[in-house]
Amino acid sequence: MSSNPSKIDPKEFRDINPGERLLMGPGPSDVPARVLQAMAAPCIGHLDPYFLGTMNETQQLLRYIFQTQNALTIPVSATGSAGMEACFVNLVECGDEVVVAVNGVFGTRMCDIVNRIGGKLIRVDCEWGRAVDPQAVAKAVKGKPKVVAVVHAETSTGACTPLSDISKIAHEAGALFLVDCVTSLGGINVPLDEMKIDAAYSGTQKCISCPPGLSPVSFSAAAIKALEQRKHPVVSWYLDFGMVRDYWGNERKYHHTAPINMIYAIREALRIIAEEGLEIRFARHILNHRALVAGIEAMGLSMLVPEKERLPMLNAVRIPEGVNDLKVRKALLNDFAIEIGGGLGQFAGKVWRVGLMGHSSRRKNVILFLAALEAVLKAEGFKAKPGAIEAATAVYAA
């Protein structure tokens, strides 16, 4: 390829054809053909009447999956990390106390954002790989925090934190309750109104099974009131919900050019979820998780997170002694076209993160993965116990 930027031969550039993958990592998940087809629909203007109707439908479907009546329920025009930042920059001003529970990588990211925008961080460190202890949060909520924040589904460890007790603690302290639902939304129950969650954000690429690029966010009436009563402007112009909500609201005031085709995609992905039904979808994720764990344990491997605190869509499997993390993941990808994730933070090189999210959470994927992992481990010299497929199949039969 030429090193001269002023001379480019288009023939030197390959066609985009990554080949098929089975996405069983921490995200993205497999995308249904219907969603890809929706993305390929003609691009039109972001204020075109047809597109404005599509926006309305997308909001309605988002309220369904969030289980909320919140008026401000929109897909932020950026990935899940922007949804995280949007929640904090709109609700937190310089000097505001913010309690953040940390039990993995994404709790630490919350802390980083609070520090960057000048909030007074009260960090609650909990054991990684475990659910957040509500009592630890209660001890930290002493003064008048404006926000209490927690990660519902910690993608770095596979731990799930129950929300009811922490929500109660936050509201008794007069604080807003902010929840990271990036990995949980669409895979397990996240009833915003029932749980009294004031601000929640997610991502499209996990259990929603849409390509990455949008971040569903929902603000309660209390969160909107806090936004409207700010003493200073939101530090991010792009993520300022005071303006963004006017674009998604009845006014339709121009703020930015929305990613038209990504909105098509999330609308179709949400429509697929609505067709399946939330309860059936949640049950499917739990069943496939149970089958996967049965197979993993039959093989002689173990899970990182205790049974009652595990996520069904993100499974952290301890890497056996003497087995090379990277070699196994490379072999799964090269030989079987299966992608899984490695550990993050203190679990780097110690766990594999196996995703069963949305469209990827299927029986055939569980069986294929177990068979492939067994073959790869055998090639690496690890003597896996027999019976993994049988153990998984028994769960389905039951």
Q: What is the CATH number of the domain that holds 333?
A: 3.90.1150.10
Nearest alpha carbon to residue 198 among 240, 243, 242, 149 = 149
| Beta partners for residue 121, in sequence order | 98
Instruction: Identify whether residues 256 and 291 lie together within a single domain.
Output: no
pLDDT of residue 12: 86
Does some domain include residue 26? no
**Beta-bridge mates of residue 341:** 353
The verdict on residue 321 lying in a domain is: yes
Domain ranges, residue 234: 33-275
Is 15 within a domain? no
For the CA atoms of the chain, what is the radius of gyration?
A: 22
**CATH code assigned at 214:** 3.40.640.10
CB atoms within 10 A of CB 257: 10
| Same domain, residue pair 211 and 137 | yes
Tokens standing for residue 330 = 């490379």
Domain count, the chain: 2
Nearest to 161 by CA among 198, 113, 129: 129
- Indicate whether 304 and 258 sit together in one domain: no
| End residue of a domain, out of 231, 249, 275 | 275
**Residue that has been written with the tokens 């089975």 in this structure:** 22
Question: Of the candidates 225, 255, 275, which is a domain's last residue?
Answer: 275
Task: Please tell me the predicted confidence (pLDDT) of residue 305.
Answer: 98
Same domain, 192 and 310: no
Residue 374: the pLDDT is: 97
**How many Å separate Cα 149 from the centre of its chain?**
16
How many angstroms separate the first and last alpha carbons of the chain? 57
Question: What CA–CA distance (Å, rounded) separates 131 from 153?
Answer: 9
Q: Both 282 and 271 in a single domain?
A: no
Angle among Cα 179, 180, 183 to the nearest 5 degrees reads: 140
Rounded-to-integer distance, Cα 256 and Cα 396, Å: 48
Answer yes or no: is 367 within a domain: yes
pLDDT the model gives residue 8: 85
How confident is the model at residue 7, as a pLDDT? Answer: 84
3, part of any domain = no
Q: Do residues 126 and 45 both lie within one domain? A: yes
> What confidence score (pLDDT) does residue 222 get?
98
Residues 116 and 175 in one domain: yes
Q: For residue 11, is it within any domain?
A: no
Question: What residues in the chain have per-residue pLDDT under 70?
Answer: 1-5
Residue (of 266, 259, 297) closest to 374 by Cα position: 297
Domain assignment present for 16: no
Q: Which amino acid, one-letter code, is at 249?
A: G
Is 360 part of any domain? yes
295 and 259, same domain (yes or no): no
* pLDDT per residue as tens digits for the range 108-137: 999 999 999 999 999 999 999 999 999 999
Q: How many CA atoms lie within 13 A of 147 on its CB side?
A: 32
Q: What is the pTM of this model?
A: 0.95
Q: Last residue of some domain: 221, 242, 275?
A: 275
- Examine the domain organization and report whether 51 and 159 are in the same domain: yes
